[in-house]
A and B are shown apart, each in its own frame.
Chain A
Amino acid sequence: MADVYREASVREAARLPADALPRFMQETRGQLVRWLIHLRREPFNLLFALVQPVILLVFFGGALQRFGAPISPGGNYRAFILPGILALTVFGNSMAGGIPVLFDKESGFLARLITAPVTRSSILVSRFLAINLLSVLQCLIMLTLAALFFGVRVASGAAGVAALLGIGLLLGFGVTIISLILAFSLTGHGDFFALLGIITLPLSFLSSAFVPLDVMPGWMRWLAVLNPMTYAIDSMRALVLGGSELWSGGLLLRCCAALTAFDAAMLILGTSLLRRRL
């Protein structure tokens, strides 16, 4: 039997008054690796998450091509809804991002994590990184599929793709915080799934994902203006379609400012709510 306590220096080394940053990085990396292992052991999750966006692109885009063409610059309705599909993918991913944390809470794993000398935020940061890595992957897959099968090209080029992903992350950040807040507030995962089912569909229609805001009835437009997805979609759409819209009136800037404000609000709300629960 190995003498576990032979090497007292392990204990000492682990306790050196090292600076906080390397410690934080180590905690976070350890937990991120855990989430990535989950992903690797259940690779079909990645595919299942792509089913809905693919259906929207192929069938919804196909069915409405004729109706949608007039409102779509360039006449390709699939190019028009692709940004919406990307935003919905990010939204869905991020909204579901709290579920593993909720499972950890239910199983007692979380309780065990927080008795380790880790910064509380490392738990959230590692989760955030894992979700958004997944979102970026899925967005890239969707962009590739749209380009290969439907000839949808991002008009603003490679820099535009990078900007698209950046905007996706801006949206994902705030939504992930909402999901984590729910994970810590709801009692069980049943409630969580029910809530996800209820909010996702209306929020997709109360955004500019499928039609531009100005063809919506007035009251819907007012609600859509409050939906952060609308800002992500409008700016992504400008990047995909290019043209005058991209450079006129600081659309990108306005949208990014709105998303940043949303993120900041969620961060403030989240820290005040989660501090008490973690």
Chain B
Amino acid sequence: MAAISVRGLTKRFGDITALSSVDFEVREGEILGLLGPNGAGKTTAVRILVTQARPDSGQAQVAGADVVKNPTEVRRRIGYVPQEITVDRYLTAREQLSLFADLYHIPRQRRPRRIDELLSLVGLEAMADKPSRNYSGGMKKKLDLACGLIHEPEVLFLDEPSLGLDVPVRRAIWDHIESLRGRGVTVLLCTNYMDEADRLCDRVAIIDQGKIVAADSPAALRAGLGGDVVTVEPDGVAPAGMRAEGARSAEGNAKAEAPAELLAARLEAILDRLPFVRGTAREGPRLHIYVHTNETALPRVLEAASAAGISLRAVAYSRPGLDEVFLKYTGRAFAEAQAEELVRTSAGQER
């Protein structure tokens, strides 16, 4: 059974359509990333799923309960860490966790231990009894995360969990999220960081302007682009006309003396017959070899080259990222979409 299932979800704000007939499913125990630029509709979708907002149309079930018809049941089973930090500045971490323990009806006798566990999980023990107004942004975010975990939710909603955090804190939060995997917790994670989606998510749903444009595992999305690319450049002599006189004297070693273009063509012919190669393309002396996403591709290309006696001047291996995936499905580069949205939103606010 799906932990989250969403059908035809639509939400409008005035003349802005924040979500337009969105469908997706999150399987139990899976981490699904909702990846999209600013204003794509991620937070709107999450707010509906955590019963904070009502959809204009469409349905959504979370942990088996309908978010509109049975919100209390949904609330009992989910944890939610919103995009903006929502800690009470007057309360210490311990008091805050204690408040959430009461809100989620954790029996009082279990509470102290549970709170200690969470404090150590997010590494806030040292600051546990200081008011959170003295915390750094990262510490507040960690506290926020801990509050969302207090009742061991079945389904956890994280809206941009690493927004504005420095690298070590991001890593720490990522580690926490990864540690939830395999404990039966389903996670829906909104992000506009490609690397975050890539690293954490079992599947990624790409959302743009209120529509899901693609949803699959990061590897499959990447494979849909034609897999990884090995680029090599043979170490040949300069082309005929431009060749220096001295080079002519060593005619004996034909292979080494051939122009790089020729060597590249020769290598292409060899590689084209190999099963792990999906295709090749030549660009001057450079040869692009499209391979199935597979760690063994690079050594095999190198072996083939040395077997043919072709030495290489340069080798590169590139794996297309979700950036390229976004480009493919929306026709826009991710950064461009971010910038456009800023313009669109600020124009909307002026009205």
Contact = CB atoms under 8 A, between A and B. Distances in A.
Contact of A2 (B102, B108, B121): B121
Given A18-B105, A30-B99, A13 B82 contact: no
A33 B100 CA distance: 12
B163 to A, nearest CB: 14
A113 interface: yes
A42 B89 CA distance: 12
Interface in A188-246: none
B152 A11 contact: yes
Interface in A5-58: 5, 8, 10-11, 13-15, 18, 23, 26-27, 29-31, 33-34, 37-38, 41-42
B105 A111 contact: no
A158 interface: no
B129 interface: no
Given A2-B117, A112-B82, A114-B52, A34 B88 contact: yes
A112 B106 contact: no
B51 A115 contact: yes
Given A1-B121, A115-B80, A42 B105 contact: no
A3 B185 CA distance: 14
Interface in A156-211: none
Nearest to A35: B90
Interface string B104-118: 111110100010111
A5 B102 contact: no
Interface range on chain A (Cβ under 8 Å from partner): 35 or more
Given A15-B76, A112-B86, A27 B149 contact: no
B75 A30 contact: no
Contacts of A37: 90-91, 95
Query: Interface SS of chain A: helix, strand, loop or mixed?
Result: helix
A52 B84 CA distance: 37
Interface residues of B, number: 43
A41 B121 CA distance: 27
A13 B107 contact: yes
Question: Which of A2, A11, A23, A117 counts the most B-chain CB atoms under 10 A from its CB?
Answer: A117
Contacts of B51: 114-115
Contact of A115 (B50, B88, B152, B184): B50
Contacts of A38: 90
B91 A34 contact: yes
Nearest to B153: A11
A150 interface: no
Contacts of B76: 15, 117
B68 to A, nearest CB: 14
A112 B104 CA distance: 12
Contact of A109 (B52, B88, B151): B88
Contacts of B99: 30-31, 33-34
Contacts, number: 103
Contact of B86 (A1, A26, A109): A109
Contact of B52 (A15, A42, A111): A111
A29 B101 CA distance: 11
A5 B185 contact: yes
B98 interface: yes
Contact of A14 (B107, B118, B184): B107
Nearest to A38: B90
A4 B76 CA distance: 18
A38 B89 CA distance: 9
Interface string A85-113: 00000000000000000000001110111
A4 B82 contact: no
Interface centre among B102, B107, B185 (most CB of A within 10 A): B102
B72 interface: yes
Given A115-B51, A117-B72, A1 B105 contact: no
Contacts of A15: 76
B199 interface: no
Contacts of B95: 33-34, 37
Nearest to B100: A116
A4 B91 contact: no
* From A18, A107, A115, residue with most partner B Cβ within 10 Å: A115
A65 B114 CA distance: 61
Contact of B102 (A11, A18, A30): A30
A117 B150 CA distance: 13
A118 interface: yes
A13 B82 CA distance: 26
B179 interface: yes
B187 to A, nearest CB: 13
B105 A117 contact: yes
A42 B88 CA distance: 14
B273 interface: no
B226 interface: no
Nearest to B144: A112
Nearest to B182: A5
Nearest to B117: A2
A30 B121 contact: no
Interface string B72-88: 10011010101010101
What 8 A-B pairs are tightest by C-beta distance, nearest first? A30-B102, A116-B103, A2-B117, A117-B75, A11-B152, A117-B76, A5-B183, A108-B86
23 contacts: A8-B152, A10-B114, A10-B152, A11-B152, A13-B110, A18-B105, A26-B108, A27-B103, A31-B102, A33-B98, A34-B91, A37-B91, A108-B82, A109-B86, A111-B82, A112-B82, A115-B50, A115-B51, A116-B100, A116-B103, A117-B103, A117-B104, A117-B105
